[in-house]
Amino acid sequence: MEFSNPAFRQPPVDAYGDGGFRVDGKRVEGSILLLPARMQPWPVQDLSVSGPDVFRPLIAMKSDFDVLLIGCGRQMAFLPKVIREHLSGHGISFDVMITPAACRTYNILASEDRPVAGAFIAVD
């Protein structure tokens, strides 16, 4: 899936698929964390086997964004209770959706200059 909008201030997700993403024109393999000021790899392939520690970089930068969009892959998955409670306990508002929808929503919010973060599991 391709996206294009030159008005972004945050790095846009230009495309997703084939096990990675194209963010701001650069190909990135694997899952990623996107914050208003940076992007980094995210070693998550399945939220059901992940713990709260995988969200540590986001918690450290929670004052930089208003909402966290979590892309859980191609199939909808619920965030484990321990992770939900951990994020909520740190005052982080989040929404979980399939990765394609999370990328599209991220791009819309970012294009509106809203501080948004993304934690996106790569899809094929």
Q: What pLDDT, in 10s, does the model give residues 51-81?
A: 999 999 999 999 999 999 999 999 999 999 9
Q: Report the SS3 class of residue 23.
A: strand
Contact 42, 33 (CB under 8 A): yes
Q: What is the DSSP string of 32-58?
A: EEEETTEEEE---S-GGG--GGGGHHH
Share the mean pLDDT of the chain.
Answer: 93
What distance in Å separates the CA atoms of residue 96 and residue 76, rounded to the nearest whole number?
A: 8
Domains and CATH numbers, the chain: 13-120 (3.40.1230.10)
2 compared with 24, residue with greater pLDDT: 24
Model's pTM, two decimal places? 0.91
Q: Which of 66, 119, 65 is nearest to 96 (CA)?
A: 119
